[in-house]
Structure formats: C-alpha cells, structure tokens
Amino acid sequence: MASQDWLEKDFYKILGVPQDASEADIKKAYRKLARQYHPDKNPGDTVAEQKFKDVGEANSVLGDKDKRAEYDQLRAMVGGGARFTAGGGGGGAGAAGFEDLFGSMFGGGGAGPASGFSTGGGQTFNLDDILGQFGGGAGGFGGNGGFSQAAPKGRDVRAQTTLSFRSAAEGETVSLQSADGSTIKTRIPAGVKDGQTIRLRGKGQPGPGGAGDLLLEVHVQPHPVFGRDGNDITVDLPVTFAEATLGATVAVPTLDGSTVKVKIAPGTQSGQVLRIKGRGIQAKSGAGNLLAKVHVVVPTDLSDDDKKTLAEIADKRGGDPRADLMAKARQ
C-alpha cells in the first residue's frame, strides 16, 4: 500500500529518468546509480549511503508495475508529487496529509468520522461524495476537468500457440485456455510469421480500468516442401536434364493442394527462379507469389549407350564452361 511519504519524493528524479521511462530504462538507471553509491565504494560517506537508500526505494516502487501505477495516481492527485502544506493558522505552515488537504479545501480542520471530513461549521462531507462531484470516486479526481489519471488496467497476459505452416499462411481460428479455466477463441490472421506476437485487447487480467491484453506468441512449424520469403511461398522444383535442355511444361504444387503449370524454357539452368504471380500468401498487405527454384536432376543410372551419346555431344560442343571462372579468379 502506498505510503504518504511517496508524496514527498520524486522517484523519477531520484533515478534521473522521465515519467514515461520504460521498465528497461528504470532498471538500467537503478543499476548504474546503485553501483555509483554502493557503500563498498564509498566507505564512511553518509551522503552516498543515503543516496544508495533513496535509489533502492525508488527502484522498489517504479520497478513494480502495481506500485508504479499507484504512485503515479497519487502524484496526479496532488499535482506532481510534493505534499500539500497547510498555510497560516495557529499551527503554522507545515507538511499536511490528506486530512489537511480536504480540511483546507472546505474550510475545516482535521478529519471527521470514518471516511468523512468535517468543516469548521460542524458539517460533515463524505470523501466519496466530494470526489464524486469531480466525476470520480475514492480512487482519485475524474471527469473532463483533467484532475485525475485513469484507473490502471489489469496486467497483460502472455501465451503461446503452435500452427502448421499452412494454417499460418492461410489463417486459423484457435482456442486458448485462460488462467481462470475459460476458453478464448481468436482468429489468427493469414500470413502470421514464426515468432510473431499478436495482441488481443481486453483478453488479459481484469483491473479497475478494464482488462489488460493477451499477448499471443505464434510458432510456425516448418513444411517439408514449402518455404517462405515475406509473403512469397518458395518451393524447389526438380526437372530432368532433358526438360532443362530441351524445354518443357511441368506441374508445380501450390499451398492449397492444387497444381499450376509452368513452362521450362530450353537451356534453363539450376537455380533459376520461376515466378507464379499471386499464388503466395494472401495477406492484408497484399498477395505474395509462388517462387519455384529450378533444380536440374542429373541422372545416375545411365546405360552405356546413354553415356556414349552424351560423350559424343560433349565432344561436338567442345569448350570449357569453367574458362571464364578461371580467368576472373586470376584478376
């Protein structure tokens, strides 16, 4: 629970970070200052010892999500962090708590009974009624006047799911088991990538300002045939030596289970990529293509006559296909 001492201290200033600093920035600043003011490095230095305690206290509050949210709400209520001072009167100026704050606002002294505050005229005001006039409740001032910070949402929850390659490419509706035993159904959009995190708003833990989010990390299983490059689907396409040499029309498998016909031009080389437009992932960002990479299959079971024929062809053509490679290697 928050201590009234929080209102006297600016933990953000102590750590030297802005109010919107990330958790990582807060942790980094704390570690740096803790090393700087550690008693082992500053033996007998009472100033360093106090600063070491201050940065430790600041980190214990700002490093905890719930405490930080509570601290920020208190700062918003009192305009930035310093406690109110009671001006004038027989008691003189001095630090005042919430009782003094509401007593000065409504002309009275100390706290009344229970959750009410009493004015000098003996009239009692209920704290909830007072704050309700500002559009809020006991959690802080509200309404359009901008007197309060919105109540914090519940914590975000992380979960994981694993999809097949095809389900990730085409989209899939999955069922997730929440911590309270309920089932959450959500649609995974087409084209989700391995390791991608999808934010499901309002599916996390409940809180005063509404439920947090569910952060769903998706893992995609590899496919034995297809690969992925952005929204393009890739596939290795085996062709025979004769098809690559003479040209042919061959079938290429697609992700939806059908096939598409493509032409292999005469003299096609291994590694050449054939693009089949629009047959990749159908994502919101646009449809990808199917990229078929040609792989010329060299026969390993040639007969003696086949080998003789190939040797005759090689003799007639002559030349060394590696001549240009050797020349460039000497440069």
Q: What is the pLDDT along the chain (331 residues), one digit of tens a residue?
A: 445 566 678 899 999 999 889 999 999 999 999 889 888 888 888 888 888 888 888 898 898 888 888 888 877 766 544 443 334 444 444 444 444 444 444 444 444 444 444 444 444 444 444 444 444 444 444 444 444 457 888 888 888 899 999 999 998 898 887 766 778 888 888 899 999 998 888 888 888 888 888 888 999 999 999 999 999 999 999 999 999 999 999 999 998 889 999 999 999 999 999 999 999 998 887 789 999 999 999 888 889 998 898 888 888 877 788 888 888 898 8
- State the alpha helices, DSSP H only, in the chain: 11-15, 23-37, 46-62, 65-77, 98-105, 127-132, 165-170, 241-246, 304-317, 323-329
- Cα torsion 14, 15, 19, 20 to 10°: value is 180
Neighbouring CB atoms inside 10 A of 227's CB total 14
Question: How many Å apart are CA 56 and CA 71, to the nearest integer?
Answer: 15
Residues 295 and 304 sit within 8 Å (Cβ to Cβ): no
**Quick one: pLDDT at residue 258?**
92
Q: What is the pTM of this model?
A: 0.51
Say which residues have a Cβ less than 8 Å from residue 118's Cβ, sequence separation at least 6: 108, 109, 110, 111, 112, 124, 125
User: 81-103 in b/e burial notation, b at 16+ Cβ within 10 A?
Assistant: bebbebeeeeeeeeebebbbbbb
Distance set, CA 246 to CA 69, 239, 319 (Å): 72, 11, 20
Domains and CATH numbers, the chain: 4-77 (1.10.287.110), 157-220 (2.60.260.20), 226-315 (2.60.260.20)
Q: How far is CA 112 from the centre of its chain?
A: 48
